Chain A
C-alpha cells in the first residue's frame, strides 16, 4: 500500500499550484475575463518568493513577497484589460512574456545567474503534520505531512466556492460575467467587481508560484511554471468555471503529473503522452459543448 499512498501524497503536492491558479482562473472566468496570464503571474510569484526570501532569509517573507508582486502584476494586467479595454488575449500574452523576460533579466542582473538560482540561505516553507489525521492508517500518510501551502490551496478552493455562492460579491461577480448589462442596470459597479476578481486571483497565483519555488526546495529556474498556468486554465474549462469541478480537474492533472514519473519507471509509458492528456481533454470537451449547443438549438 505504500506506493499507492505515496502516489496520492504526490498527487496532492503536485496539484497545489494548479489548484491555486485554477481558482484564480475560476474567478476571472466568472467575471468573463479570460485570463491567459495565470502562467506569468505564477512565475512572477515564484521569482520574488525566492529572491525576496533570500534577501530577508525567511520563507514567510518570500511568500508575502510572492503575493505582493503577483498582485502588482495582476493590477497592471487588470488595468489594461478593464480600464483600457485592451484585447484580453494579447494583454495576457504580453504579461506572460513580460514575466519571463523580467524574471530572467533580473536573475542575471542581480545574481549573475542564468537559468537557475538557488540561494540556499533560508529554509523552505514548513510542512505540517495534522495531529489526529496522521494516525489514520492509509489517509494519514496521504494527508499529513504536506507543505503548508498544500493545505492553503484546499482552503483556496473552499474560499472561492463560498465567495461565489454565499456572498453578495459572488452573486455580483456571476452576474457581471454572465450578463454585464443587467448587472449595470441593477446598479452593480462592474469595473470594481472585475478588478476584485483579477486581484484576488493574482494573489492566489502568487501563492501558487511560492509553492513551486519555496515549497519543496528554495529554487527558481527560468520558466519553471512550464505551462502549469495553461493546465490550470484547461482545468477551468474542464470544470466549466465551477470551483468544485475545476478543483477535480486540477487534482486529476496533478495525479497525471505524479503518475507520470512513476509510470515511466514501472511501465515506460512516455511522460509526454501523459502530459498531453489535459490539453486533448479540453479540446474534446469544447467540441462536445459546441455540438451539444448546436443540437439543443435545433431541437427548440
Chain B
C-alpha cells in the first residue's frame, strides 16, 4: 500500500485550473520527484497537501486512511512538512531558536535553553545535518539555512518532507552533500517529495518521478527504468504549432548586445553569470527557460532597474550603468513581466498610461504643462489602432480586462517604432485572440527591422515567432537552437540543464 495517495485533486484559481484531476502515489521511504515546467501545478499540488490550499475536489490518503487537512497545522500533525522556496526563517533569531519556533521547550514561563540545545544537537547528529545552533540566521549562508529548514521539519517529527526547488540555493559543491542527506533521511524511514525542474537531480537521487504539465499528471516513471530524454519530453509535450508567415532575414545587423553581463538577485545570489548575446535588427531572438533561472533579472538589467556588471550596448552606444529613461530614449521599448505592478498604473487613466514614457516631451508637454487635449487625442488614436476595448481614454485602467490592459502596454511601447523591443512573457494570462494580436504586432515590428528580444516560458510561442532561440539555465546561456529544426526533446533537455557534451 502506498504511503501517500493523492486522488483526483482539482484546484482552481480565478481563470486558471492549476490542478486538473491529479492522482498519484508515493511509496514510503522513496525520494519522489515532482517534475514540470513553471505553471505546471507542482507547487500548487504540494500546497494542497500541506494544507495551505483547499482543493475543489479530491482526497488525500495517508497509509490508506483519509486525511482531513484544512490548514498547515493539520498536515504538521499528520507528519507532513514542507520547505518552501522562500525560507520561513527569522533572520535575527539563532538557528536553534528558529528550529524550535512555536514549540519551544520551556520550564514554567522561562525558555529552557538546555533542553533546546540538547534536542537540536540530537536531531542534527541523527540526520547528519550539521549546524551551529547559536549563530543567528542572517549570518549563515543560504545553503546552511536550508539545513535549518529541514531540521525544523524533523524537530516537528515530519515523516513526509516536501522540498520545493531545494537546490536553487546551493552551490554545485553543496548539492552532492545535500543528496547524501536526503538518502540518509530515506534509510531512516522518511519519505521525500522533491519539486524540481532539473533533470540531473531527478536522475541522480530520485527513485520515482511524476511529471505534471499544464495542471495534468502526464505520468509517473521509475527513474531507474527511464531516461532524461523520456522525462524531458513528458515535461514539454508535443503541441500543435501555430505557423506564422515570416520573411527570411536578409542581413545580420547587430542592434542590442550584451557582453559578459552578470548580476545578483534580491537574495544576493548570482542570477546572471556572464551572459553574452546579440539581438540583430529585424529578428526575434527568443530566450527559453524555466522561470527562475535569471530571466526576470535579465529583463530588469536591460531596462535599467537592476545593477549589473558587463557591457550592454545598442548600436554600439553604452546602455549599462544608465537609468531607465536614458535607455528608453535610446530607443528601447519594454514590455515588463508583471503587467499590474511594472507595466501599468491601474489607478490612472488609460490615456495617462499610454503616455507614461513620453509625457515629458512635446507635443504632450510644454514648459512643464501637459496638453490634456493632445494626450486625449493620442489615447483615442491608439485605442482605435490597437482595438483596446474601453469606453474612453479617460477610463480608469483597472476597469479593463487582462487582455486589454496588456494592449495598453503594447500600444504604448510599440506605437512609436522603437529600435529594440524587450518583451517578457507578453502573452501571459491572455486568451487566444489577444495572444494572436500580440504575436502579429511583434512580427510587424520584425518586418520593420526592429530587434526583438522575446523572453517566454511558452515554448510554442517561441517556436512560432523566434528566428533563433537561446536557452537560459541557472543564469547562463546553455545553448542556441534553430526553431525550424529543434525538437521538443532537445529544448526540454536544455531547459532542464542537460547540456550536450560534444
Interface residues of A (CB under 8 A from B): 166-169, 171-172, 174-175, 178-179, 181-183, 185-188, 300
Contacts and interface: CB of A to CB of B under 8 A. Distances in A.
Contacts of A171: 93, 97, 101, 104, 111
B73 A168 contact: no
Nearest to A300: B268
Nearest to B112: A168
B210 to A, nearest CB: 25
B362 interface: no
B140 interface: no
Contacts of A168: 104, 106, 109, 111
Given A179-B90, A182-B88, 15 more contacts: A168-B104, A174-B90, A178-B90, A178-B92, A178-B93, A179-B89, A182-B89, A182-B98, A182-B101, A183-B90, A185-B88, A186-B101, A187-B73, A187-B102, A187-B103
B223 interface: no
B72 interface: yes
B110 interface: yes
Interface in B83-118: 87-93, 97-98, 101-104, 106, 109-111
29 contacts: A166-B110, A166-B111, A167-B109, A168-B106, A168-B111, A171-B101, A171-B111, A172-B101, A172-B102, A174-B92, A175-B93, A175-B101, A178-B90, A178-B91, A179-B89, A179-B90, A182-B87, A182-B88, A182-B90, A182-B98, A182-B101, A183-B102, A185-B72, A185-B88, A186-B88, A186-B101, A187-B73, A187-B103, A300-B264
Q: Is the interface of A mostly helix, strand, loop or mixed?
A: helix
B483 to A, nearest CB: 39
A167 B76 contact: no
Contacts of A179: 88-91
A168 B113 CA distance: 11
A187 B102 CA distance: 6
Contacts of A175: 90, 93, 101
Contacts of B110: 166-167
A176 to B, nearest CB: 9
Nearest to B101: A186
| Most chain B CB atoms below 10 A, which of A167, A172, A188 | A167
A58 to B, nearest CB: 32
Contacts of A188: 101-102
Interface of B: 72-73, 76, 87-93, 97-98, 101-104, 106, 109-111, 264, 268
A181 B52 CA distance: 13
A158 to B, nearest CB: 14
B69 to A, nearest CB: 15
Contacts of B76: 187
Contacts of B264: 300
Contacts of A300: 264, 268
B103 to A, nearest CB: 8
A167 B111 contact: yes
A169 B111 CA distance: 9
Nearest to B92: A178
A181 B84 CA distance: 12
| Most chain A CB atoms below 10 A, which of B89, B93, B102, B110 | B102
A187 B72 CA distance: 8
Nearest to B52: A185
Contacts of A169: 109
Nearest to A169: B109
Contacts of A181: 88
Contacts of B104: 168, 171
Contacts of A187: 72-73, 76, 102-103
Nearest to B105: A168
A209 B89 CA distance: 38
| Most chain A CB atoms below 10 A, which of B76, B92, B101 | B101
A300 B356 CA distance: 34
A182 B109 CA distance: 23
A183 B98 CA distance: 10
A172 B109 CA distance: 13
A171 B109 CA distance: 12
B27 to A, nearest CB: 28
Nearest to A180: B90
A183 B88 CA distance: 8
Contacts of B89: 179, 182
A12 to B, nearest CB: 29
A179 B89 CA distance: 7
Contacts of B98: 182
Nearest to A168: B104
| Most chain A CB atoms below 10 A, which of B76, B88, B103 | B88
A178 B97 CA distance: 14
Nearest to A165: B111
Contacts of A186: 88, 101-102
A61 B389 CA distance: 70
A179 B90 CA distance: 6
A107 B87 CA distance: 54
Contacts of B97: 171
Contacts of B90: 174-175, 178-179, 182-183
Nearest to B73: A187
A233 B90 CA distance: 24
Contacts of A183: 90, 101-102
A169 B109 CA distance: 9
Nearest to B106: A168
A186 B111 CA distance: 17
Nearest to A181: B88
The 8 closest A-B pairs by CB, nearest first: A186-B102, A182-B88, A186-B101, A168-B104, A187-B102, A185-B88, A175-B90, A179-B90
A125 to B, nearest CB: 29
B310 to A, nearest CB: 17
A163 B109 CA distance: 9
A182 B268 CA distance: 20
A266 B195 CA distance: 74
A175 B76 CA distance: 20
A166 B73 CA distance: 26
Contacts of B102: 172, 183, 186-188
A242 to B, nearest CB: 11
Contacts of B103: 187
A115 B90 CA distance: 48
